Amino acid sequence: MPLSLSSNRIELGRQAEAAARDHLIAQGLEIVAENFRCRRGELDLVAFDGKVLAVIEVRLRTQIRYVDAAASVGPRKQARIIAATQYLLLTRPRLRRFAVRFDVVALDRATPQDPLRIEWIRDAFQA
């Protein structure tokens, strides 16, 4: 799905998450949850990758000024993702039996004229 640069950041974020979801489905993942929210944080995508539960953070950078999308998932964001994952596992006991992996899908575009680059980084960080 091509992403057009929207002036609406919320809509652009939705488009990026849809592109990431479609990319992961094409790679054989089964989406379990999208935009899971709790007081501890938000999980963009949760999916089965075989017998592994992949918790996936989607990051979009339309202009790479300082850091690319993958590097923008710092320790504070990682802690929120881990905390939200713990809550997800508390509320959905059937998911507890699976190993959990934290992935990042980075969508980068250096300039509005450049094509969108999607990079799936498996096991991007550890709990």
List domains and CATH numbers for the chain: 9-125 (3.40.1350.10)
Query: What residues contact 72, with CB distance under 8 A and at least 6 apart?
Result: 59, 61
Cα-Cα-Cα-Cα dihedral sign, residues 106, 81, 8, 72: negative
Which residue type occupies 37? R
What is the spatial distance between Cα 82 and Cα 110, in angstroms, rounded to a whole number? 29
Span 6-52, pLDDT tens digits: 557 788 888 889 999 999 999 999 999 999 999 999 999 999 999 99
What is the spatial distance between Cα 69 and Cα 119, in angstroms, rounded to a whole number? 9
Q: Which two tokens stand for residue 58?
A: 């989607």
Does pLDDT of 82 surpass 90? Answer: yes
Global pTM reads: 0.86
| Residue indicated by tokens 């300039």 | 111
Does pLDDT of 75 surpass 90? Answer: yes
Mean pLDDT, all residues of the chain: 87
**Predicted local distance difference test score (pLDDT) of residue 63:** 63
